[in-house]
Amino acid sequence: MAAKKSFAYFCSMSNNFSLFIGLLLISNIQSSAFTSGYDLKSPAKILVLPEILREVSGLTDIDESTVACIQDEQGILFIYDIVNNKIKHQHNFHIDGDYEGITMVNNSMYILRSDGVILEISDYRAKDFKVQNYATGIPANNNEGLCYDADNNRLLIASKSKIGKGPEHKDKRYIYAFDLKTKKLRENPVFSFDVVAIKNFAQENKVGLPEKSRKNGTVPVLKFFPSAIAIHPVTKNLYLLSAADHMLFIFKPDGKIHHIEMLDQKIFNKAEGITFFSNGDMLISNEGQNDKPTLLRFNYLN
């Protein structure tokens, strides 16, 4: 009889332990979703994009059913219907080039080339639209993120590469501002991020960073090469993607790190574009590489 009671007690404790672990996992997922505003493991909608958008590299919302996107090989503006999952229009705006970011301001589309040149399509709906080029003179030679900062009437440009040689630039990443009134780049960056500090934040908050093998074992690695940038319409937080790390970074409006989350590589093949609808719902586009290009929608949970 005692053995039976002991076995029953063991089973009860085992079940309670399993329940505890399950609740802990759910709590961690909910906590992460509450902090980021999204359940990044469960897209509300997944659209497989056509082959011409395999290299989709930039994304901006137009209205609740339409987005504009570009790809990084051809100078084509794609207007995409996300309800019917098809291209509505496509406009040739320039010769082929490495186009990485796009954002809309009123009726104008601004497109970022990787060398820092910004192209303005003043009225993209017009048949004879005009394209104006701005050589920003940004010191980084590889730039991928572009978004509209409405509160300050400027565009934000996220530099992917260092701005110079030397140890003082090794672990620094910068965001520059392009003034929409003067159509000039502000000389000094408006945000400066330290990769070491961000890595420390990740480790302190137990974010599972990618690892690299070394002779004495494995070490956590953080590249933090911004591939896309957007401002959240509700919180005003700054959301940055790093496709190289498969990670999402959230910064407060003052530039302080707020949250880091690993992205499931099965869902996020290569996250290169991000934008928000006015209600906070988030869209992220992924390049195809060895898989299909996708557009993911995440409902805002807060």
Q: Where are the domains of the chain?
A: 46-298
- Would you call 235 helix, strand, or coil by DSSP? coil
Q: What is the per-residue pLDDT for 18? A: 43
- Would you call 16 helix, strand, or coil by DSSP? helix
Please provide the distance, in angstroms rounded to a whole number, between the alpha carbons at the two ends of the chain: 53
- CA dist 196 to 100, 221, 224, Å? 26, 10, 10
The structure tokens 């399993």 sit at 18
Q: What is the per-residue pLDDT for 17? A: 45
CATH architecture of 46-298: 6 Propeller (2.120)
Q: What is the per-residue pLDDT for 29? A: 44
Q: What is the per-residue pLDDT for 295? A: 98
Question: How far is Cα 179 from Cα 49, in angstroms, rounded to an integer?
Answer: 33
Print pLDDT tens along the chain (302 aa).
Answer: 545 445 444 444 445 544 444 433 344 445 556 578 999 999 999 999 999 999 999 999 999 999 999 998 899 999 999 999 999 999 999 888 899 999 999 999 999 999 999 999 998 988 889 999 999 999 999 999 999 999 999 999 999 988 888 787 889 999 999 999 999 999 999 999 999 999 999 999 999 898 888 878 888 999 999 999 999 999 999 999 999 999 999 999 999 999 999 999 999 999 999 999 999 999 999 999 778 999 999 999 97
Question: How far is Cα 216 from Cα 218, in angstroms, rounded to an integer?
Answer: 7
CB environment 251-280: b (16+ within 10 A), e (fewer)? beeeeebbbbbbbeeebbbbbbbbbbbeeb
Q: What is the per-residue pLDDT for 226? A: 97
Q: What is the per-residue pLDDT for 182? A: 97
Q: What is the per-residue pLDDT for 32? A: 56
Beta carbons within 10 angstroms of residue 194's beta carbon: 14
Q: What is the per-residue pLDDT for 170? A: 85
Question: How far is Cα 293 from Cα 89, in angstroms, rounded to an integer?
Answer: 18
Six token digits for residue 140: 């980084």
E strand or H helix at 64, and its extent?
Answer: none
Q: What is the CA radius of gyration of the chain?
A: 22
* Measured CA angle at 190 (ends 184, 191), to 5 deg: 140
Beta carbons within 10 angstroms of residue 43's beta carbon: 20
Six token digits for residue 23: 């609740």
264 Cβ contact partners less than 8 Å away, ≥ 6 residues apart: 40, 41, 246
Beta carbons within 10 angstroms of residue 191's beta carbon: 17
